[in-house]
C-alpha cells in the first residue's frame, strides 16, 4: 500500500509514471508532488509552488497553440473560452482524478486528514507542477506532449468546455431540457476554520444525485454540478445510441 504524505514514506510511483507516459527524474517528480503543508512539517524543505508557476505557463501555451491550429473557424472569444475551460482548476482536477494523482501527493498531516487528496485546487496545482517538472527534465517538446495527453479527454468532448467553466449553469440547462426542476444543493463542511473542506450534494428531481468537494462552498457545488451534468449527458448519449 502506498504512503499518504507522512514522514518516512517512499511511495512507488511506477504506475503514475506509466499513466503520465514520461519518465521524469525521480527527484523532480517528488518535488512536484510536495505540497507546502508537507514541506512546512518537514523543516521547510522545497515545495512544488515554483514548478506549478512554470507548468502553468507551459500548459497555457500548449493548449493555446493546439486550439488555434485545430479550430480555424473559431473567433478569438470562443478560443479564449475553450482555453480557459481546459486550464481551469475544475478541468485539471478532473484530469488528476483520472490518473489517480491524489494518492501520490505528499501532504502534511492536517491537510491529509482534512481531505486534501480530493481538493480540486491541490490536484490542479500538482498537475501544473508535474508539467513544470517534465519541462525542466525533458524539454519543451516532451512537456507539451504531456499536456496534450492529459487534456485529450476534454478535447474529445466539446460540450465539456462550457460545463467545466460554468457547471452549475450547464446543469440547470440540462435539467430544464429534461423537464426537471431546478437543481437542489446541500453543503456541509468539515475541518478547522483555517482549513475547511466543503462537501456538496446536488439532486435534479429523481434524475440524478451527485457529490463534490472543494475548499469553498462555490467550488464544492461546482464539482458536484459537473459530476451531475456528466451523468445526465452520458445517459442521454447512451439512450440515443440505443
Q: What is the 3-state secondary structure (H, E, C) of 94-160?
A: HHHHHCCHHHHCECCHHHHHCCHHHCHHHHHHHHHHHHHHHHHHHCHHHHHHHHHHHHHHHHCCCCH
Query: Is-catalytic flag, 221?
Result: no
Q: Give the range among 119-123, 134-138, 164-168, 172-176 with minimum mean pLDDT.
A: 164-168
Topology of the domain comprising 161-238: Double Stranded RNA Binding Domain (3.30.160)
Mean pLDDT in residue range 25-51: 95
User: How long a stretch of residues is the chain?
Assistant: 242
What value does the mean pLDDT of the chain take? Answer: 87
11-155 folds as Ribonuclease iii, N-terminal Endonuclease Domain; Chain A (1.10.1520)
pLDDT tens digits for range 82-110: 888 888 887 898 899 899 999 999 999 98
Indicate which residue of 41, 94, 111, 128 is catalytic: 128
- Strands annotated E in the chain: 184-190, 197-204, 208-214
CA 114, distance to chain mean position in Å, is: 18
118 is catalytic: no
In 3D space, the residue among 180, 138, 196 whose CA is nearest the CA of residue 20 turns out to be 138
Tell me: pLDDT of 238 over 60: no
128 is in an annotated binding site: yes
Provide the pLDDT for residue 29: 96
The annotation status of 52 as a binding-site residue, yes or no, is yes
Please give the pLDDT value at position 196: 83
More confident site: 20 or 89: 20
Catalytic entry in 56, 94, 166, 213: 56
Q: Is the pLDDT of residue 158 over 70?
A: no
| Average pLDDT of span 179-197 | 88
Q: Could you tell me if 206 and 216 are in contact, meaning their C-beta atoms sit under 8 angstroms apart?
A: no
The boundaries of every CATH 3.30.160.20 domain in the chain are 161-238
Sheet containing 197-204: give its strands across.
Answer: 184-190, 197-204, 208-214
- What pLDDT is stored for residue 2 in this prediction? 38
Amino acid at each position: 500500500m502506498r504512503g499518504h504524505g507522512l514522514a518516512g514514506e517512499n511511495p512507488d510511483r511506477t504506475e503514475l509514471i506509466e499513466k503520465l507516459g514520461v519518465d521524469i527524474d525521480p527527484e523532480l517528480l517528488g518535488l512536484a508532488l510536495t505540497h507546502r503543508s508537507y514541506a512546512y512539517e518537514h523543516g521547510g524543505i522545497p515545495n512544488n509552488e515554483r514548478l506549478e508557476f512554470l507548468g502553468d505557463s507551459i500548459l497555457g501555451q500548449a493548449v493555446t497553440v493546439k486550439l488555434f491550429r485545430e479550430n480555424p473557424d473559431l473567433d478569438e472569444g470562443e478560443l479564449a473560452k475553450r482555453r480557459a475551460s481546459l486550464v481551469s482548476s475544475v478541468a485539471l482536477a478532473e484530469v488528476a482524478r483520472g490518473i489517480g494523482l491524489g494518492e501520490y501527493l505528499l501532504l502534511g498531516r492536517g491537510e491529509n486528514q482534512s481531505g486534501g487528496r480530493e481538493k480540486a485546487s491541490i490536484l490542479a496545482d500538482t498537475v501544473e507542477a508535474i508539467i513544470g517538472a517534465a519541462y525542466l527534465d525533458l524539454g519543451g517538446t516532451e512537456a507539451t506532449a504531456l499536456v496534450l495527453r492529459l487534456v485529450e479527454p476534454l478535447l474529445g468532448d466539446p460540450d465539456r468546455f462550457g460545463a467545466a467553466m460554468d457547471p452549475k449553469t450547464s446543469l440547470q440547462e440540462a435539467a430544464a431540457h429534461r423537464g426537471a426542476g431546478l437543481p437542489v444543493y446541500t453543503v456541509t463542511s468539515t475541518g478547522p476554520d483555517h482549513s475547511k473542506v466543503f462537501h456538496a450534494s446536488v439532486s435534479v428531481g429523481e434524475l440524478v444525485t451527485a457529490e463534490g468537494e472543494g475548499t469553498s462552498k462555490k467550488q464544492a457545488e461546482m464539482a458536484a454540478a459537473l459530476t451531475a451534468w456528466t451523468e445526465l449527458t452520458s445517459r442521454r448519449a447512451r439512450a440515443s445510441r440505443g
